[in-house]
Amino acid sequence: MNLLSAEAEVLAPLATGWFLEHAWLIPVVPAIAFALIILIGKRLPMKGSELGVASMLASLVLSAGAAYQWIQRVNSASEEQFVEPVIKSWSWWRSGGFDFGIGQHIDGLAVVVLFVVAF
């Protein structure tokens, strides 16, 4: 007995990986390192350069993981003409009838830009 029909297979969204779901960490890690370098950089043995290098290495690893998962996602789409982007949004602030949100939209171009900037 087949539980999945042909329509359900076509409409099923592609699975996303951890790196694509958490791509927001790629710019956040260097921003946190920047704040730490400003606050405690002079007290460190190498004046904070170790924090900068470590944060950029972490961003490179995260962006390489996101690029790898995006390539796997495109390859698993088989005959699809369009691969759905990974979209996440959060409500940041509500005032009256307005909803101010923040989010991420990760598609092929965004993955390439994140990788190039981190590299």
The pLDDT profile of the chain, 119 residues, written as one tens digit per residue, is: 444 444 444 444 566 889 999 999 999 999 999 999 999 999 999 999 999 999 999 999 999 999 999 999 888 877 767 888 999 998 989 988 899 999 999 999 999 999 999 88
Cβ 13 vs Cβ 84: under 8 Å:
yes
- Alpha-carbon distance values, 4 to 1, 30, 73, 89, 113 (Å): 9, 44, 21, 30, 37
- Give the per-residue pLDDT at 65: 96
Cβ 111 vs Cβ 66: under 8 Å:
yes
- Give the per-residue pLDDT at 108: 92
Q: Which amino acid is at 55?
A: S
Cβ 58 vs Cβ 32: under 8 Å:
no
* Paired tokens of 100: 């101010």
Domain spans of the chain?
Answer: 17-118
